[in-house]
Chains A and B, each alone.
Chain A
């Protein structure tokens, strides 16, 4: 059966229109606009965003500050360690002698500068010997070595009460071998910090 399409479509339309029983569907209702609430919530979101950004910025600043402090503390500690190792560097002696040799005088000069730059520091100097020589006599020789190192520093301006002395003779060798090099290592004066070593400052120029 050949009916024309338009006739069929309009017939369908009429049929559908008659079936729904009414006119075209109604448009959606218009939204109710509460301006104040919107502005409020926008403002709150803004504030929250700003607060987040602020705290991120603060945290970043704090972290940067801590990193700077740590770096400074590290560098102070490295400096203090460097100064401490100069302060405790060993001086050595010839066999059966307690005189300060030229190369050891230079080491003592560095200690003098450090003591001058750090007025709170007090040290103990302990004299040691190699295993040769009488055991008893070596306590006296170690004492003389400690006194010689102390006298060198006192003569160059360090107050005497900042340096105390001790001796251990041949009782505490660094090297127990019986060779010339072991003996040379053992003939020494050791410097230890007795007080005021918290924040050692390097003398200028060192």
Chain B
């Protein structure tokens, strides 16, 4: 009798890692990194005798150092006991600095701000462990009521960060966002928000150019929308000629500022176009969608590639192509029929990551893709989180969240997981983070 061999069927489930797409969302913001307190160097910001200029400078710098997420910032109430931490001797290099006291307070570094000749502020950075002055830098700071005051002070904080870590901070940057259909600008610490476009004229999708000195955005008109390049300081603007007709939006400038790439929606569907801004000519159609839409471009920092959104697979997903439109391919992997819509990609300025939002269980969440390995990591899990934009340090992101009940811009640090609210008040959407402003 033939024995019936039992056939063992080994069914290997070969579904690729669908990452956090299949993990049910938990309460609160969940980040892949667990925060370990005590791992960051302590940074003591020394107080001093009251002075209108220095009090403002100190407050802004202290907040910037905290927002850099690179230090445990130690501040103590400004009274004479701390000013005695440094006793000036009048001779450079011979000041008494109470390093032991600073060390006892948990500081690895300390910064003292003092005003020199009324118009200059100097920042002295002390290395507490080595008991020496790391660096003293002088800054020209205009009076507190000057329009450029805050930016000048932010640069001080960025230089302190660079002195300690080797990498400058991103305090001297600004963000654009849309509120009441106007383009607004705000400092990186959330202060000094002001509109850049007129009331009553609906606008959309603002972006930066020229190192934070220019903005580009859509202004709606009946029945479409035109693109404008505007100088931030003067407010002067000019229309981008091929956008005078049709519905044109999500403009982005190439890193060298010579090319403008944008989305146009019309009878042909939705596709990406490029325009030679430097020579004011030469409209080129980069994608020919036919039955698919292509939109939301973002340049790689070397200007050679463009990541974008395409619906060629049904739902919108993230694709990449060369800047001339050739070589189109999938960028952020997805499971057909399982993965939700992906939108709003932005390439980091170090070229290593692309951030975007993707629908998970019906709500958009922030995802980061490592460009080299094409692996995708989910950063948020509760509420609706969308439209992310990179800070120039490649570790901070701004995005839109409705976790407080209305859409506001929030900032997250990828390394520590710390989250802070940037905008308050009326709904804020579509943020864009500038480069460091010189």
0 or 1 for each of B280-318: is its CB under 8 Å from A? (1 = yes): 000000000000010110000000000001010000100
Closest Cβ of chain A to B432, distance in Å, is 12
Closest Cβ of chain A to B140, distance in Å, is 41
Q: A165 at interface (Cβ–Cβ under 8 A)?
A: yes
| Interface residues of chain A: helix, strand, loop or mixed (majority) | mixed
Q: Which of B220, B224, B267, B364 contacts A134 (CB 8 A)?
A: B364
| Contact assessment for B364 and A147 in the assembled complex, using a CB-CB cutoff below 8 Å | no
Candidate in A133, A140, A142 with the most chain B CB atoms within 10 angstroms: A140
- Which residues 193-239 of B have a CB within 8 angstroms of A? 202, 204-205, 220, 223-224
Instruction: Report A-chain residues with C-beta under 8 Å of the C-beta of B250.
Output: 136
Closest Cβ of chain B to A189, distance in Å, is 13
Instruction: Report B-chain residues with C-beta under 8 Å of the C-beta of A46.
Output: none
Instruction: Report A-chain residues with C-beta under 8 Å of the C-beta of B311.
Output: 140
CB-based nearest A residue for B363: A132
Distance, CA A199 to CA B341, complexed state (A): 46
Given known A139-B249, A147-B269, A171-B204, contact A134–B223 (CB-CB < 8 A): no
Interface residues on A, range: 20 to 34
Instruction: Report B-chain residues with C-beta under 8 Å of the C-beta of A133.
Output: 341, 343
Instruction: Report B-chain residues with C-beta under 8 Å of the C-beta of A118.
Output: none
0 or 1 for each of A139-168: is its CB under 8 Å from B? (1 = yes): 110111001000000000000000011111
Q: B247 at interface (Cβ–Cβ under 8 A)?
A: yes
| Contact assessment for A140 and B263 in the assembled complex, using a CB-CB cutoff below 8 Å | yes
| Contact assessment for B263 and A136 in the assembled complex, using a CB-CB cutoff below 8 Å | yes
CB-based nearest A residue for B356: A134
0 or 1 for each of B401-438: is its CB under 8 Å from A? (1 = yes): 00000000000000000000000000001100000000
| Contact assessment for A134 and B181 in the assembled complex, using a CB-CB cutoff below 8 Å | no
Closest Cβ of chain A to B409, distance in Å, is 13
Distance, CA A100 to CA B72, complexed state (A): 58
Closest Cβ of chain B to A95, distance in Å, is 10
Q: A62 at interface (Cβ–Cβ under 8 A)?
A: no
Candidate in B266, B364, B429 with the most chain A CB atoms within 10 angstroms: B266
A to B contact number (C-beta, < 8 Å): 74
- How many chain-B residues does the 8 Å CB contact rule pick out? 31
Q: Which of A124, A134, A147, A166 contacts B316 (CB 8 A)?
A: A134
Q: B386 at interface (Cβ–Cβ under 8 A)?
A: yes
| Contact assessment for A137 and B341 in the assembled complex, using a CB-CB cutoff below 8 Å | yes
CB-based nearest B residue for A160: B267
| Contact assessment for A167 and B364 in the assembled complex, using a CB-CB cutoff below 8 Å | no
| Contact assessment for A139 and B343 in the assembled complex, using a CB-CB cutoff below 8 Å | no
Instruction: Report A-chain residues with C-beta under 8 Å of the C-beta of B296.
Output: 134, 136-137
Distance, CA A124 to CA B267, complexed state (A): 12
Given known A143-B269, A144-B293, A165-B266, contact A136–B364 (CB-CB < 8 A): no
Candidate in B263, B270, B364 with the most chain A CB atoms within 10 angstroms: B270
Q: A135 at interface (Cβ–Cβ under 8 A)?
A: yes
Given known A165-B266, A166-B223, A171-B220, contact A137–B247 (CB-CB < 8 A): no
| Contact assessment for A126 and B223 in the assembled complex, using a CB-CB cutoff below 8 Å | yes
| Contact assessment for A144 and B269 in the assembled complex, using a CB-CB cutoff below 8 Å | yes
| Contact assessment for A171 and B181 in the assembled complex, using a CB-CB cutoff below 8 Å | yes
Distance, CA A148 to CA B204, complexed state (A): 24
Instruction: Report B-chain residues with C-beta under 8 Å of the C-beta of A139.
Output: 204, 247, 249, 263, 265, 270, 295
Q: Which of B265, B266, B316, B387 contacts A135 (CB 8 A)?
A: B387
| Contact assessment for B344 and A136 in the assembled complex, using a CB-CB cutoff below 8 Å | yes
Q: B154 at interface (Cβ–Cβ under 8 A)?
A: no
CB-based nearest A residue for B405: A178
| Contact assessment for A166 and B247 in the assembled complex, using a CB-CB cutoff below 8 Å | yes
Distance, CA A144 to CA B430, complexed state (A): 22
Instruction: Report A-chain residues with C-beta under 8 Å of the C-beta of B293.
Output: 140, 143-144
Distance, CA A137 to CA B317, complexed state (A): 11
| Contact assessment for A140 and B265 in the assembled complex, using a CB-CB cutoff below 8 Å | yes
- Which residues 146-193 of B have a CB within 8 angstroms of A? 181
- New A-B pairs, 8, CB < 8 Å, besides A126-B223, A135-B430: A124-B223, A134-B296, A134-B344, A139-B204, A140-B263, A165-B266, A171-B181, A171-B204
Contacts A/B (CB < 8 Å), 9 sampled: A136-B205, A136-B344, A139-B204, A140-B295, A140-B311, A144-B269, A165-B267, A166-B223, A171-B181
Q: List chain A positions with a Cβ less than 8 A from chain B.
A: 96, 124, 126, 133-137, 139-140, 142-144, 147, 164-168, 171
Q: List chain B positions with a Cβ less than 8 A from chain A.
A: 181, 202, 204-205, 220, 223-224, 247, 249-250, 263, 265-267, 269-270, 293, 295-296, 309, 311, 316, 341, 343-344, 357, 364, 386-387, 429-430
